[in-house]
Structure 1
Amino acid sequence: MDIIWLFVMLAALLICGMPVAVALAGSSAIFIIFNGSPPPMVVAHRMINGVDSFPLLAVPFFILAGNLMNTAGITERIFNFALAMVGWMRGGLGHVNVGASVIFAGMSGAAVADAGGLGAIEIKAMRDAKYDAKFAVGITAASSTIGPIIPPSLPMVIYGVVAGASIGQLFVAGFIPGLMMAASLMLMIAIMARRKGFGRDQTFYWSVLWSTFQRAFLSLLTPVIIVGGILSGAFTPTEAAVAACAWALFLGLVVYRTLTLPRFLRVSFDTIETTAVVLLVVGSAAIFAWILTSNRVPEQFAAGLLAISDRPWVILLLMNLILLAVGCFMETVAAITIMVPVLLPIAVTLGIDPVHFGVIMVLNLMLGLLTPPVGMVLYVLARVAKIPFEDCVVGTAPFLIPLVIVLLLVTFIPGITMWLPTLIYR
């Protein structure tokens, strides 16, 4: 059976409204049955092997940590501290939005968790301050993509498992690009604030900054514990996820006492549900990627791509365009699991470090969260803000410009990504 039918079946199942995991596993199973080899039982074995990985244990724990922080009121303390720190700037709440996302990025590692948790607080505050709803949703969506770039990062964990790359180095490599994303978004906010006549939302007071810092201090220690523990060698990225959960539980149950038993049970069930979905996608994508690999699709694709040009910058540009297109139509975890076996060998052939390529891939797919038709972050914020999905797309569009510029800089200047991993690990 020709490999093209595998993609035809996948597209047909997705168009029919099937979940991504079902479409991936279903198209793979049909392909194997009609192909007559190997036995259909291979589907189950490959799916199990796809999730049988110790580093993947970090996934449920980082998800649980993010949910605990949203439920225990930690996000509100972070928002208030960010408000006191940058709320005095023109278009202040927009800058607060970005600043809070940078801080929260060091805790959860998931864009959807940022959008669903901080997003509700940020959009309400911006609406109360008479900001346009489209602008509020747009900057909230764009800033949420910082979460999976600054460590810790769930997509980086998935990439590290599939690519066999160091998760610790991937975490460190994302730090500078994440800060560049934040700086570029704040520059865009400053430009839009001047053009639209946005004012300052709060007068700066040292006393307010100090009081909000005191209230948020223990929450702000979370990224220090996670990143500091990994860099010092105290624990692995997987163990760091467990430490994040333990710290969030300590804050919610003992210090702030905002985490009740019913809330904890609800958070636990939400985490189980989200983890099941993520790992089912990983397992389903693993069998799909195995079929591609066993049919020598990566080699054929590499030959076709290198036939266009042998210049690294041209190939990198083409791979960026491919990943941006894939991100528009496919969920992040599935895209990473499928595209890494196809694109990574080409990158390695061109002398591109797998860690550098991992940041490029994740950053591309984060932009996919802001673009239809999939645009998961847009769907979440459309529900949070109670505005049409189309308005979310329009509001987010201007903020894609600075993010694409950062993507190009990260792609073509490897030192931005590789300086810290080289300094710390090599």
Structure 2
Amino acid sequence: MYWVMAILPFALLLLGFPIFLLLLTTSLVILLLFFDIPMTVVHQAIFNSLNKFPLLAVPFFVFAGDLMSRGGITKRLLRWVASLVGGFRAHIPMTSLGFAALFGAISGVTTAGTAAVGTLTYPRMREAGYSEKFAAALITAEGALDNLIPPSIAMIIYGIASDTSVIQLFAAGIGPGLLLAGLFGLYIYYYSVRTGISDSGRFSLKEFVHASVDGVWALGAILIILGGIYSGVFSPTEAAGVASVYAIFVSYIVYREATIAQIFESGARAMQLTGLIFIIVAVAGLYSWLLTISGIAQATVSVITSIHSEKWVVLLTINVFLLFVGCFLDPASALIMLTPLLAPVAASLGMDPIHFGVIVVMNLTIGTFHPPFGLNIFVCQALFKTPSKTLYAGLMPFVGLAVLALMLVTYIPGISLWIMRLLS
């Protein structure tokens, strides 16, 4: 049975099965061949996977992020970031990076962040003389910041799967997200110097003031979402609903750049993307339930912890394993499947569950822009038609920097936990 559970999903993946069908097929085969229990457990396990209140935040955050892109909020955020970094060298890619981090604070969907940031900043980088390889790779990699900087749908899913606090996970993701953005910023500066591209502008206090006044409503979205969550005014799920109402109000009433039709289009897109996420969550929940009742979860704990008595070696092994998984599975699927296996390992090592959650999410975040199957890679190629060979080559420095950030976060818990402890 164990070999079937391990090999069958991989074989179906090679045959091109969609992730949800892969997991559902494997689960049904295992139940029919190795368990003598009623098939009604399938419906019960699927229902229980989705019967989680925090999951309601997913469609609201997706809707709010999409509508903000349509309704002029993201354009004003971009102008504000550009006015802030206008005096720096490489200010165009720096603006793109800062905008990606800022957009992560109002969205939470990495693919949505890649599309929203890319459509606005990629043409500007190309016009400034940056190569297709660099510009496309930066857009692809920086979109992953949405998975770390709150609100993060990946953090929500991990919190549900591990029964840990979503609010604490949000707070713990800020430090690693800023660290990753900082390393990317250093590479952008180095690349600009090495290639001789001097696109530095001049900081203008007048432009900064105008951009701040024009974007006050856009910046208010971040204040309301994060301020409301960490002040205890509302939960992450309630914050998602408030963000949606705020997006409608600002886009339609204040800026008047979104029509009723566009609001409904954002709603339709949110439903479509939520359906894609939830169908994976549902069947992955069934598969993870089978992993637990079959004893594989307990066996995995024993195998990993017996590799070596040193805690750092076990963590390194987990990181290598998750980086490999992240190359082939999307974060939602991997989180639902692997969290029941790995959370007990972390507990046996005496790790803080919030710190370990950040490690898991960060690993799978790297997978979103790691060749060959990163989700953001597909988004970038769909938007800009960048050849795979070109994009893969451009991504390697960003992957290397992300792995460096992962190692620092893994072995220095304070990077993740200091903000959480500060806010608690």
Q: Is the 8 A contact 2:136 2:386 kept in 1?
A: no
Q: Please tell me the residue identity of whatever aligns with 2:23.
A: L
Q: In the alignment, which residue of structure 2 is the partner of 1:257?
A: 256
What SS class does the counterpart of residue 309 from structure 1 fall into?
coil
Q: Which residue of 2 aligns with 1:367?
A: 366
Alignment of 1:148-227 (within 5 A): 148-227=147-226
In 2, Cα distance between equivalents of 1:316 and 1:407: 11
Alpha-carbon contact 1:370-1:393 (below 8 Å) kept: no
Counterpart Cα distance in 2 of 1:369 and 1:393: 13
Aligned to 1:245: 244
Structure 1 partner of 2:42: 43
What count of residue pairs does the alignment treat as equivalent? 424
Aligned to 2:100: 101
Which one-letter code corresponds to 2:84 in the other structure? M
Q: Distance in 2 between matches of 1:423 and 1:76?
A: 32
Summarize the alignment of residues 49-60 of structure 1 with structure 2, pairs less than 5 Å apart.
Answer: 49-60=48-59
What is the distance in 1 between the residues matched to 2:129 and 2:265? 33
Aligned ranges 1:256-405 → 2 under 5 Å:
256-405=255-404
Identity among equivalent pairs (%): 34
1:201 shift after superposition? 4.4
Counterpart of 2:327 in 1: which secondary structure? Answer: helix
State which drifts further: 171-180 or 209-218.
Answer: 209-218
Report the AA paired with residue 10 of structure 1.
Answer: P
Structure 1 residues 103-112 or 391-400, which shifts more?
391-400
How far apart in 1 are the matches of 2:118 and 2:320?
29
- Per the TM alignment, residue 87 of structure 1 is displaced from its structure 2 partner at its CA by 3.3
Q: Distance in 2 between matches of 1:198 and 1:97?
A: 16
Match of 1:424 in 2: 423
Alignment-derived partner of residue 131 in structure 1:
130
Q: Work out whether residues 77 and 215 of structure 2, in 8 Å CA contact, stay in contact via their aligned partners in 1.
A: yes
* Distance in 2, Cα, partners of 1:398 & 1:93: 19
Deviations 1:180-221 (A, max 9, x none): 111111111111111111112432211112111222221111
Q: CA deviation at 1:303?
A: 1.1
The corresponding residue for 1:90 is 89
Cα-to-partner distance string for 1:270-293 (whole Å, 9 max, x where unaligned): 111100110110011001111111
- Take 1:135 and 1:89, find their aligned partners in 2: how far apart are those partners? 18
User: In 2, Cα distance between the equivalents of 1:210 and 1:67?
Assistant: 27
Are the aligned partners of 2:114 and 2:376 in contact in 1 as well (CA < 8 Å)? yes
Give the Å deviation of 1:227: 1.1
Q: Could you tell me which amino acid in structure 1 is paired with residue 166 of structure 2? A: I
**Cα distance in 1 for residues equivalent to 2:35 and 2:141:** 46
Q: Tell me which amino acid in the other structure corresponds to 1:412.
A: Y
Instruction: Compute the displacement of 1:36 (Å).
Output: 4.1
Indicate the SS of the match to 1:308: coil
Q: Secondary structure at the match of 2:234?
A: coil
Task: Confirm or deny: 8 A CA contact 2:64 2:107 kept in the other structure.
Answer: yes
Deviations 1:35-73 (A, max 9, x none): 242222222211111010111111111111111111112
Q: Which runs of 5+ in 2 are unaligned?
A: none
Supply the AA of the counterpart residue of 1:143. Answer: E
RMSD: 1.2
Q: TM-score scaled by structure 2?
A: 0.97
Partners in 1 of 2:36 and 2:366 — Cα distance?
A: 38
Match of 2:114 in 1: 115
Asked if 1 retains the 8 angstrom alpha-carbon contact of 2:248 and 2:263, the reply is: no
Which segment drifts farther, 358-367 or 297-306? 297-306
Secondary structure at the aligned position of 2:279 is classed as helix
Q: Is the partner of 2:147 in helix, strand or coil? A: coil
Q: CA–CA distance in 2 between the matches of 1:41 and 1:18?
A: 24
In structure 1, how many angstroms separate the alpha carbons of the residues matched to 2:404 and 2:386? Answer: 28
Instruction: Indicate the residue corresponding to 1:412 in structure 2.
Output: 411
Further displaced range: 310-319 or 388-397:
388-397
State the shift of 1:372 in Å: 2.3
Q: Deviations over 1:7-55 (max 9, x none)?
A: 2221222222221111111111121112242222222211111010111
After TM superposition, the structure 1 = structure 2 runs for residues 57-76 of structure 1, keeping only pairs within 5 Å, are 57-76=56-75
Structure 1's 79 and 320: CA in aligned 2 closer, same or farther, altered over 3 A? same
SS at match of 1:88: coil
Q: Which aligned pairs between 1:27-42 and structure 2 lie closer than 5 A?
A: 27-42=26-41
Alpha-carbon contact 1:87-1:200 (below 8 Å) kept:
no
The code of the aligned residue for 2:276 comes to V
TM-score (norm 1): 0.97
Alignment-derived partner of residue 13 in structure 2: 14
Q: Measure the CA separation in 1 of the matches of 2:343 and 2:157.
A: 14
* Inter-partner Cα distance in structure 2 for 1:36 and 1:352: 34
Counterpart CA distance in 2 for 1:318 and 1:85 is 41
Structure 1 CA distance, aligned partners of 2:270 and 2:349?
40
Q: Distance in 1 between matches of 2:376 and 2:27?
A: 28
Cα deviations by residue, 1:102-133 (Å, 9 ceiling, x for unpaired)? 11111001211110111111111112222211
Contact 1:60 1:272 in 2 (8 A): yes
Separation in 2, partners of 1:97, 1:410: 24
Deviation string 1:138-174 (CA, Å, 9 cap, x unpaired) is: 1111211111211111000000011000001001111
- Measured after TM superposition, the shift of residue 417 of structure 1 is 0.9
Distance in 2 separating the partners of 1:360 and 1:148: 12
Partner SS, residue 174 of structure 1:
helix
